[in-house]
Amino acid sequence: MVHSAARVKEEVTPNFGLIIAYLIPGATALYGISYFVPTVHGWFGASPENAPSLGGFLYLTIAAFAAGMTISTVRWGLLDTLHHVTGIKPPTLDFAELSGSVDAFDYLVEIHYRYYMFYGNGVTALAFTYVLRHVALATKGYPWGWGDIAFVLLEVIFFLGSRDTLSKYYRRTERLLSPKQNRPHKESVDGP
């Protein structure tokens, strides 16, 4: 069966959003857990001869989604609060305005909020995994090095990415769904 490009995009886009928002950060967190849980370590299959079975792959995928949802909740409690305290204010939205703007709202979620979730959940999952890795390797005289520098760089990049995408999401949803009397004028809102 031949699919049009628009149809393929409709089928792939929501799944891509879920993968970047939950699966990748969840797998990152599970990697940290794998230092302490041999079963989880086996799901990752470090070499071809130790590659996970189909069942192991399925368990890893389901567990990664569950871990990603948990990481997302921790992100919501910590990182969202930090962003709000440090100047990114959530807009007041009037969802009565949504009826004529559902597609536009969905689009804003896909191009901004899902990426915010990836960056924010990534910050949270990387920190979690970093701590677990250091705890697991502390007894082995783990040397500090390039991995630690890479961690700090990724944390900074993901943190800045999370601020940018959350800010854009808030600004653009405010333009779309704020109560009419509070709606900002286009010329008063900075940038795209």
- State residue 8's pLDDT score: 43
Give the pLDDT band (50/70/90) at residue 1.
very low
Higher pLDDT, 143 or 77: 77
* pLDDT > 90? residue 18: no
3-class secondary structure, 23? helix
Question: What's the domain count of the chain?
Answer: 1
Rounded CA gap, 192 and 175, in Å?
A: 11
- State residue 47's pLDDT score: 59
* pLDDT > 80? residue 189: no
* pLDDT > 90? residue 185: no
Mean pLDDT over each residue of the chain, to the nearest integer: 84
Q: For 50-75, what is each residue's pLDDT tens digit?
A: 666 677 678 888 999 999 999 999 99
Q: Could you tell me the residue range of the domain that residue 15 belongs to?
A: 5-188
Distances (CA, A) of 87 to 117, 159, 165: 18, 14, 14
Task: Enter the tokens of residue 33.
Answer: 């857990």
Rounded CA gap, 31 and 12, in Å?
A: 26
Higher pLDDT, 17 or 86: 86
Give the pLDDT band (50/70/90) at residue 187.
very low
- Report angle CA 94, 97, 99 to the nearest 5 degrees: 135
Task: Enter the tokens of residue 10.
Answer: 């409709």
Query: Which pTM was predicted?
Result: 0.81
